[in-house]
Amino acid sequence: MLLDILEYPDPRLRKVAAPVAAVTAAVQKLVRDMAETMYSAPGVGLAATQVDVHKRIIVIDISEARNDLRVFINPEILSAQGELECEEGCLSVPGYYDKVVRAEKITMRAQNEHGESFELGTDGMLAVCVQHEMDHLVGKVFVDYLSPLKRARLAARLKKKQRLAS
């Protein structure tokens, strides 16, 4: 089932997500719905916060063929190294891209869609995506990394877009 994606500056994007106590059938359905929504958008990552579900769940697929879904429940970063500047976009800020500096390599721990714990060391695009989506779980949007001037310009553009849409 396709879910509605919240758009910046919706205040619900600022809510902090709660840990998932147990991976139940309802959590697994949410993961499937989030994946379907992400693929349909189309995007490479989606946090539950973005679909107004405030649980610590993210889905990511950076593969070219769109057939390598990764599920991270209760993700936590154990270590981060280096710096990498990448251009990022966000399904909650459609049509806007800008450069953000993040850790180049991360080691993380999470649970998969079956509730099994795992650790993962990664770098490059996957590391950037994990950090971007995990920000959503603590109420942070990638535009928070931008200068006040760029944020003000973006806000003005979004207000104009909303005015034209109504």
Task: State pLDDT tens for residues 11-40.
Answer: 999 999 999 999 999 999 999 999 999 999
Catalytic residue from among 36, 64, 76, 133? 133
Distances, alpha carbon 49 to alpha carbons 58, 111, 165, in Å: 9, 17, 24
- In the DSSP assignment, the letter for residue 82 is S
CB under 8 Å to 31, separation ≥6 — which residues?
Answer: 57, 59, 71, 73, 113
CATH for 101: 3.90.45.10
- Does residue 3 lie within any of the structural domains? no
- pTM here is 0.95
> Which pLDDT band, with edges at 50, 70 and 90, does 156 fall under?
confident
Dump pLDDT digits (tens) for 98-146.
Answer: 999 999 999 999 999 999 999 999 999 999 999 999 999 999 999 999 9
- Does residue 1 lie within any of the structural domains? no
State how many domains the chain has: 1
**Annotation marks residue 83 as catalytic:** no
- Does residue 39 lie within any of the structural domains? yes
User: Which residue range is the domain that position 107 belongs to?
Assistant: 11-165
> Which pLDDT band, with edges at 50, 70 and 90, does 9 fall under?
confident
Task: Tell the residue number behind the tokens 């603590």, with chain if given.
Answer: 138
Q: Is 136 exposed, middle or buried (0-12, 13-18, 19+ CB in 10 A)?
A: buried
